[in-house]
Amino acid sequence: MTMATGVSICSNALLMLGAQTINDFADQNNLDRAKLCANLYPTQRDTILRAHPWNCCIKRIVLAPIAEPPAFGYSHAFELPSDCLRVLEVGTGGCQIDHQVEARSIQADTTVLELRYVFRNEVESSWDAHLIDLMTAAMAATLAYPITQSTSERDSREAKLVQLMRQAKAVDGQEDPPQTLGDERLLGARFGSMG
C-alpha cells in the first residue's frame, strides 16, 4: 500500500471524476489539472481538518506570554502556533480558564497557558484512513465542476461528502473518552460516587 500524500489524494479524486491523474503539483504533462489541485488542495485540507478535532491532528503545547500585553481586558496575550487551525482547550494546571481568541493570539489572565489545538497536519500518511477518504471525497467535490463542467456531478459529490463527513466524525469520536459534563465534584456529591 502506498503512503497517502496530497498528490495521491488529488489523483484519486481525479480518477473518481474520470480524469487523468497527476504525478505532482507541478506535473508538466497535466499542468492544468496539477495547477487546479495545487491551488485548491491546501485550502480544502485546512477546511476539512478544522471541521472536526481529528485525533491524528491534535497537539498540546505550553505557551509563554508575548512581551506586549493586551490594551485592556486580560493581563497577557499568547501567540497561537503558526500551525494552529482551531483552538480546542485553553487552560492552566489542567483546568479550563477564561480566555479570548483574537486574531492570532489568545488573551488570558495567566502567565502560563496550556493549549490543545487542531494543527495543520501536512503529513497525510499519518492521517486516519477515514480522514484520507474524506479528503479524497472533498477534493472530488471541489474538482467536480472544473473537471466535468457538470453541476449534477458537483451536487452528487457534495452530497456524498456530507455523508462521509458524518461517518468519519462518528468513527473518530468513538476513540475519545466520554465527555465529562459539569463539575465532577458536584456530580459526585449528587450521585454519591465520591470516595
Tens of pLDDT, residue by residue over 7-64, are: 999 999 999 999 999 999 999 999 999 999 999 999 999 999 999 999 999 999 999 9
In a shared domain, residues 106 and 75 = yes
- Band of pLDDT at residue 139, cut at 50, 70 and 90: very high
Residue 93, pLDDT score: 84
Higher pLDDT, 182 or 41: 41
Mean pLDDT calculated for residue range 148-170: 94
The partner residues of 108 in beta bridges, in order of sequence, read 76, 99
The partner residues of 95 in beta bridges, in order of sequence, read 92
* Pairwise CA distance, residues 184 & 190, whole Å: 10
How do residues 51-106 score in pLDDT, each as one tens digit?
A: 999 999 999 999 999 999 999 999 999 999 999 999 999 998 889 999 999 999 99
Nearest to 134 by CA among 172, 106, 98: 172
In a shared domain, residues 43 and 132 = yes
As for how many domains the chain has, the answer is: 2
pLDDT at 187 over 50: no
* Pairwise CA distance, residues 111 & 92, whole Å: 9
Handedness of CA 134, 22, 122, 3 (dihedral sign): positive
- Band of pLDDT at residue 184, cut at 50, 70 and 90: very low
In a shared domain, residues 113 and 35 = no
Mean pLDDT calculated for residue range 120-138: 96
Residue at 127: amino acid letter = W
- The answer as to whether 180 is a domain residue is no
CA distances from 30 to 2, 41, 42, 110, 176 (A): 21, 16, 19, 53, 42
Residue 1, pLDDT score: 53
Higher pLDDT, 181 or 137: 137
In a shared domain, residues 29 and 11 = yes
Contact 137, 160 (CB under 8 A): yes
In a shared domain, residues 70 and 110 = yes
In a shared domain, residues 78 and 110 = yes
147, three cell numbers: 473537471
* Domain that residue 137 falls in: 6-53+122-173
Residue at 186: amino acid letter = L
In a shared domain, residues 127 and 111 = no
In a shared domain, residues 104 and 126 = no
